[in-house]
Amino acid sequence: MAKLYFYYASMNAGKSTTLLQADFNYRERGMETMLWTASLDDRYGAGQITSRIGLLAEAHKFDPDSDLWAAVEAENAERPLACVLVDEAQFLSRDQVLDLARLADEANIPVLCYGLRTDFAANLFPGSAALLGLADALVELKAVCECGRKATMNLRVDERGRAVVEGAQTEIGGNDRYVAMCRRHFMEKRRVAAEAPREVGADA
Ligand SMILES: Nc1ncnc2c1ncn2[C@@H]1O[C@H](COP(=O)(O)OP(=O)(O)O)[C@@H](O)[C@H]1O
Ligand SMILES: Cc1cn([C@H]2C[C@H](O)[C@@H](COP(=O)(O)O)O2)c(=O)[nH]c1=O
Ligand SMILES: [Zn+2]
């Protein structure tokens, strides 16, 4: 029976690299894959999965209205799929995760999702919460904090590198906006930022 996998990590842990490697493994054996990524993450051009080490591939784009069940079923009828690979899975809705689970259960297509566990405030993303609840297999990928511990958290920083403790959950960015850290250093940086006196004119 096919499974729904969730490969989760902080930023910079090699999620996109691992996805592209898995895709390559299937395709070099002559098997068909279907790649997806979030349309809102347009750092490298919408509809492209790019890893920091330079690998890249074209992908289908999902947004909150995308019907993943219908799109994958239609593709599978054209060319039988060995698996479906989804990057930026934290941005899936709960209903979309339910559709991915159904693709594994009813269409027998393995679905491999890659994404963040938590946001800059240590809260689960909707897609991650649904995947943690529904996936058959949870696999943690690892990044390293500046202190050498496992980096499980994502610190959002401003242009001067100071922690940002408030804001919208979604803010697209890369190494300029986020630093992967262990929990201890994540908490420490956020506490320092929360206690720092506000700059005069900061709201102007
Ligand atoms: N030039 C490079 N050569 C080898 N590894 C690199 C290079 N640049 C970045 N990396 C590594 O690639 C990883 C980030 O890969 P990526 O797939 O983009 O991460 P994620 O999708 O989890 O944010 C990090 O471990 C980083 O150290
Ligand atoms: C922590 C956090 C991240 N995001 C965004 C920033 C990036 O565009 C993606 C994650 O990219 P990855 O390197 O492929 O893991 O998610 C966000 O919108 N809000 C957050 O709190
Ligand atoms: Zn640390």
The count of structural domains within the chain is: 1
- Where residue 53 sits, what CATH number does that domain have? 3.40.50.300
What is the complex's ipTM, to 2 decimals?
0.91
Domain span holding position 131: 4-142
Residue 64 to residue 1: CA distance in whole angstroms:
28
Q: Which of 58, 73, 88, 166 is catalytic?
A: 88
**How far is the CA of 8 from the CAs of 81, 115, 184, in angstroms?**
23, 5, 20
Catalytic residue check, 88: yes
Which two three-digit tokens encode residue 152? 């499980």
Let me know if residue 161 belongs to a domain: no
100-145 confidence digits (pLDDT tens): 999 999 999 999 999 999 999 999 999 999 999 999 999 999 999 9
Q: Which long-range contacts (CB under 8 A, 24 or more apart) does 55-60 make?
A: 55/16, 55/17, 55/20, 55/21, 56/20, 57/20, 57/23, 59/35, 59/87, 60/34, 60/35, 60/36
Let me know if residue 119 belongs to a domain: yes
30-39 confidence digits (pLDDT tens): 999 999 999 9
Give me the half-sphere count of Cα atoms (radius 13 Å) on the Cβ side of residue 130: 18
pTM over 0.90: yes
| Residue 90 alpha carbon, nearest atom of ligand 2 | 16
- 203: pLDDT strictly greater than 90: no
Let me know if residue 116 belongs to a domain: yes
Let me know if residue 152 belongs to a domain: no
Let me know if residue 37 belongs to a domain: yes
Assign 97 to helix, strand or coil: helix
| Pocket lining: 33 vs ligand 1, CB cutoff 6 Å | no
Let me know if residue 123 belongs to a domain: yes
Let me know if residue 57 belongs to a domain: yes
- 204: pLDDT strictly greater than 90: no
